[in-house]
Chain A
């Protein structure tokens, strides 16, 4: 049996979409009405981002997409978060997903901000996509800067993991607020 390299690549992308659907399903999202996971790299490329966008919107409250369309142009993002581009002038993402969920805001503005930032992994090791995960200026949430991405399942896994970490830190913080006395004993910074 022979196979085309383009078909081969398409199959890998489709399987990545299936992993993405499965991850969303495990988080309790109803994925029955999502786009089909089978794609071909010569057309239907949007399917991958459609699945990502549909799933992520159900998992988080304030998710925004900035691309090169007329609406939600990437310039809006650049104007809104100028500080990000002042730090690093080389940032030229193709499209951006921002996660300004209350969950992330709470943990980033709380006392566990430093610990949470340590947990955020760098996504440099991913082979099939070039994405960057940054904290928005003013601790307003997280942002995925995508330069080029074909296999988005690792991105989904990361964001789901970060959501769980955020919930963990918030619970920890709540417990500390209740037991304020022990905080003083252990000489820890309180809220």
Chain B
């Protein structure tokens, strides 16, 4: 198969991230760090508190408040909002597990394979 590098770079242009967008992503970084600590139940001694700001954790609290989507009849359980960032984070983390345990895998790791 031939690969046209020039065309590939050309088509990548539309996905380019400008500097202003970069700033936006950087502000989300603290939020996702705080969200990760909450979702994985990190012990306090392992949390680096310089990674996020107070506002970031407040946003996480707001995000958790928005979690319920539809309540069950009894009102004891609810379906989580699929657009909630906690759910998205959980699904993203699931990707690796699913890739590893996919039933129709094309390639299987042999014992001789070495990853360095």
**Chain A residues engaging chain B, CB cutoff 8 angstroms:** 1-5, 8, 11-12, 14-16, 18-19, 21-23, 25-26, 31-38
Contact = CB atoms under 8 A, between A and B. Distances in A.
B110 to A, nearest CB: 36
Nearest to A47: B44
A25 B49 CA distance: 7
Given A1-B79, A5-B77, A12 B54 contact: no
B44 A37 contact: yes
A4, A5, A18, A26, most chain B CB atoms within 10 A? A18
Given A15-B38, A34-B44, 14 more contacts: A1-B79, A2-B80, A8-B68, A11-B38, A11-B64, A12-B64, A15-B57, A18-B34, A18-B38, A19-B61, A21-B49, A22-B52, A22-B53, A38-B42
Contacts of A34: 44
B65 interface: yes
Interface of B: 34, 37-38, 41-45, 47, 49, 52-54, 57-58, 60-61, 64-65, 67-68, 75-80, 87, 90
5 contacts: A8-B68, A11-B64, A15-B57, A16-B61, A35-B44
A5 B38 contact: no
A4 B75 CA distance: 9
A43 to B, nearest CB: 15
B68 A15 contact: no
A180 B45 CA distance: 51
Contacts of B75: 5
Contacts of A31: 44, 49
Contacts of B87: 1
A151 B64 CA distance: 14
Nearest to B78: A3
A4 B76 contact: yes
- Ordered nearest first, which 7 A-B pairs have the shortest CB separation? A25-B49, A38-B41, A15-B61, A1-B80, A19-B57, A32-B45, A36-B44
Contact of B54 (A5, A11, A22, A33): A22
Nearest to B46: A32
Given A3-B67, A36-B44, A18 B57 contact: yes
